[in-house]
Structure 1
Amino acid sequence: MIKWFHLFCFALVLLRIESKSIKRKLPAYNENKEVESWTGKWFPFPPNTRTTVSPARKDAENDIISSSNSCDDKTLIGRDFNPNDIRHSYNYLCLANRTMFTPSLNRKALLHEEFIPPAYRPAMKCLNETIRYDDKIPTHGAFRLLPPKYGTYQFLPPQRWLRSVAEGAIVMLYHPCAYTKQVELLQKTVSSCMYRHIITPSLLLSPERPMALIAWGKSLQLSVVDENMVVNFIKENAKKGPMSNKDLNETFELYESGLLTEAHLVTDESDNEICGYKEM
């Protein structure tokens, strides 16, 4: 009996030694090595990236900007777009062959959707910082501090209208060479659906689909206006931005450089009923 007990104890010792040996042979997980080997995109920022928030931004969801704030004044307005500089007029003029933008009923609309984590909040940056986007037609990302006044613009850069998208607005883009009747039809539908909208020309669009609707995390690119499709997109995606609950009655300065026509109320400033005139 004692002999078997000694053998049992000896076996336990060998098993423990072998276990330690195996553990020593296992390669340690190297997080930095995994990060360095990753070749895809990071969202919203790569690991260990230091991000800064403008001192003028007191709260990500309640940023009342003083009109005297130098972070977003007119001294550096040309960084994104200067409506008073004729050299920037190419943003809203048709300089291409208009026949390339002929509408086609055979060209299907293109719906693009991106997954955005619910906790993600876009950064607000001053005019002394350059804002660039990874996507050709951005549906989220950093923007300037002053919110644009809702309505139709001669031209409004994405650094401005993404602020409106974050507030739950629908942004309508059209290429300057797009067919006028199609643009007017889309413009009429959007402006009749809700107060929170921005309409602006944009060179980001292709000749195949020279019109687009932008919502938070989504875009719909069109060759021909399908009113039912447009209304459905607006109803399903309006007021979805992280700042949608912002009180529009708060007093702060609005950006309105290049504004042609101010938006009119459809129901109220909160757009409690969206596209109410259109029963689907």
Structure 2
Amino acid sequence: MVSQMGKVIQGCDDAKTNLELDWNNSPTDYLCFHPKNPYPVKRIKSIQECVQLPSDYYPQHFCMDTKLSYNVTLPTYGDHRPLWPVFGEYKYVPPQRWLHNIEHGAVVMLYHPCAHPFMVNRLRAIVRGCIRKHIITPYVHLDPDRPLALISWGCSLKINYVKRQEIFVLLHSNVSWYNFVS
């Protein structure tokens, strides 16, 4: 069943019922099981990828009676749930929810639970300080070589070493990202 965006509709999506359809509440999605050995910090090149979506592309909003999956490990657009999380940081948010945030101008900061805490905190400070509409959540499907990512509608930036200047230049110079900075 397809639903109206952002509306609680009984039997569709109240953001409380049937959540296990998108996430089984497993701690493997938000905990590092070897926290004394985080992924190493490497000064390797960041990877920015953007897809050109057709101007008439509009994702569908599916109720909680429909399983949603994606054909990529790091989706930057696609069908999703009608209700999205309030901006902020969470223990875990599945893509079926945060995709709706980025559809409406948010930036999502993803970090692998085993990413180096110094780099996670450095990126978190930039996101909290510069981007009003944001979601911050762990995401285990990031590559250990680039365990941090910023996601906007149709775009991703995968990084290992947080270079403030690189992030600021990207956010303020690229049309795909510029509209999302407050």
Q: 1:75 aligns with which of 17, 28, 36?
A: 17
CA distance 1:131–1:218, shift in 2 (3 Å): same
Partner in structure 2 of residue 91 of structure 1:
29
Higher CA-based Rg: 1
TM-score, structure 2 length as denominator? 0.90
How has the CA–CA distance of structure 1 residues 231 and 127 changed in structure 2, closer, same or farther, with 3 Å as cutoff? same
Structure 2, unmatched stretches of 5+, are none
Q: Aligned partners of 2:7, 2:114: CA distance in 1, in Å?
A: 36
Measure how far apart 1:89 and its partner are: 1.2
Distance 1:231 1:125, change over 3 A: same
Partner of 1:207: 144
Other-structure match for 2:70:
133
Q: In the alignment, is the contact (CA less than 8 A) between 2:6 and 2:84 conserved in 1? A: no
Higher mean Cα deviation, 175-184 or 230-239? Answer: 230-239
Residue 216 in structure 1 maps to residue 157 in structure 2? no
List alignment gaps of at least 5 residues for structure 1. Answer: 1-52, 58-62, 241-270, 275-280
Aligned residues between the structures? 178
Matches within 5 A, 1:102-121: 102-105=40-43, 107-121=44-58
- Decide which structure has greater helix share: 1
Taking the aligned partners of 2:87 and 2:96, their CA distance within structure 1 comes to 15
What is the root-mean-square deviation in Å for CA atoms of aligned residues? Answer: 1.9
Are the equivalent residues in 2 in contact too, given 1:98–1:178 (CA < 8 A)? no
Contact 1:215 1:238 in 2 (8 A): no
Match of 1:156 in 2: 93
The 5 Å alignment of 1:16-31 reads none
Aligned partner (choices 219, 225, 242) of residue 162 of structure 2: 225
TM-score of the two chains, using structure 1 as the length reference: 0.60
Shift of 1:118: 1.1
Name the amino acid aligned to 1:230. Answer: I
Deviation of 1:210 after TM superposition, in Å, equals 0.4
The ranges of structure 1 where at least 4 consecutive aligned residues each deviate by more than 3 angstroms after the TM superposition are 96-100
Is this contact kept in 2: 1:173–1:201, CA < 8 A?
Answer: yes
1:169–1:238 CA contact under 8 A, matched in 2 = no
CA distance, structure 1, for counterparts of residue 178 and residue 89 of structure 2: 18
Identity among equivalent pairs (%): 34
How is 1:246-257 mapped onto 2 (pairs within 5 angstroms)? none
| Cα distance in structure 1, aligned partners of 2:155 and 2:36 | 27
